[in-house]
Chains A and B, each alone.
Chain A
């Protein structure tokens, strides 16, 4: 049972922003996280349902490098255009929850909720996602990495909505998303890695890695990226670079029981991804 609340369904962005600036509101899109949260509260809130705002919706064909916050995970996973241009993102979205959750939950909601296990966040990070936020008084754009502050905490103010997420396509990169879960379907990521890697012969030309569920906020493994990009493929170098990332993760969080299994698996996953295929 949900507590009694009011919910408004604005039909334009202007109407939504006025509501948000004049009231204490919560934005609802798919509702898959928010309604569960509200089941445990009895405080009155005003919900603003943003899913009927035409300015927030467009076809990928019309604005191919701009992700609408209202795209559901199912839509992203099934769009031929997104699969082609941003394969890591499409693959990650195909792993979210269940078919029903994927038909409900949105990319904007995934960012706004900022779960450490959000599947769409690591791939958005490797495509250098920038999030455009609008309020009735201001418009600003932030890199996704800066926008996420802590687990379930973002820099999004209460009067702002996510207007769009711009991402940069990469050509001739090996791209993907791997995750560790307790079973194949209907499970949260315990660890996830989104990657894009450009290689030439025995050299890594450009490496980008984002890791989810290991720290309160998903991270780009910048130290590893910098250590490897442009270098000849070498297993010792790779192992050293991976250890740098492991050290950083350890420094960001207190020792956790789950790290006893997560960190060894992360080492192996990164080695598998970066070495490209089988390794010993």
Chain B
């Protein structure tokens, strides 16, 4: 058992975690953050993506104890006081949300991309979401939505 301290969506969390529990299990089963999904469980589909110190990682392949003293963000971070962020609005406007299973991961990768100082092009967008599978949209609407928010 490890006592860990970390920031979850800006709030300080102190909790005891078992050594073999993944970050995905901690978030869903103990902290009730069910936007983080288990898809493949082997680091290929991206449904479990969270931001660790601002960078996308797979929570299914991250031990919960590893986030001690670090900053974790899930899609809940993006909306404030019940209203959606711009990136979420453009996803809806562009039809980038269909079944919704990949959406939290896609939004977090898009958010992380927009927050980097990189020059954003269509290829850069494709690379940024290359670790996230979507079986509904064919990706076009998601790419269009991110282009929209990046204003390119």
Interface residues of chain A, those whose CB is within 8 Å of chain B, are 2-7, 9, 28, 31-32, 35-36, 39, 47, 49, 51, 74, 97-101, 103-104, 184-186
Contact = CB atoms under 8 A, between A and B. Distances in A.
Contacts of A9: 2, 65, 68
Given A99-B128, A103-B57, A5 B62 contact: no
Interface stretch (B37-45, B72-80, B84-92, B140-148): B37-45
Contact of B66 (A3, A49, A185): A49
Contacts of B126: 185
Contacts of A100: 43, 46, 49, 56-58, 131
B19 interface: yes
13 contacts: A2-B21, A3-B20, A4-B19, A28-B63, A35-B22, A36-B42, A98-B131, A99-B56, A99-B109, A101-B58, A101-B131, A185-B131, A186-B131
A184 to B, nearest CB: 8
Contacts of A74: 55
Interface of B: 2, 18-22, 41-44, 46, 49, 52, 55-58, 61-63, 65-66, 68, 109, 126-128, 130-132
A186 to B, nearest CB: 6
A49 B68 CA distance: 12
Contacts of B41: 39
Q: Name the 6 nearest CB pairs between A and B, nearest first.
A: A98-B131, A185-B130, A7-B19, A100-B131, A103-B55, A2-B20
Contacts of B131: 97-101, 185-186
Contacts of B62: 31, 104
A115 B52 CA distance: 26
B70 to A, nearest CB: 11
A97 B43 CA distance: 9
A70 to B, nearest CB: 13
Nearest to B116: A78
B145 to A, nearest CB: 18
A51 B44 CA distance: 23
Contacts of A32: 43, 58, 61
Output the residue of A2, A32, A103 with the most chain B CB within 10 A: A103
B86 to A, nearest CB: 22
A213 B130 CA distance: 22
Given A101-B131, A104-B57, A4 B20 contact: yes
Contacts of B2: 7, 9
A124 B18 CA distance: 37
B63 A35 contact: yes
A100 B90 CA distance: 23
Nearest to B56: A100
Contacts of A99: 56, 109, 127-128, 130-131
B52 A5 contact: no
A103 B132 CA distance: 14
Given A101-B131, A103-B55, A51 B66 contact: yes
B61 to A, nearest CB: 5
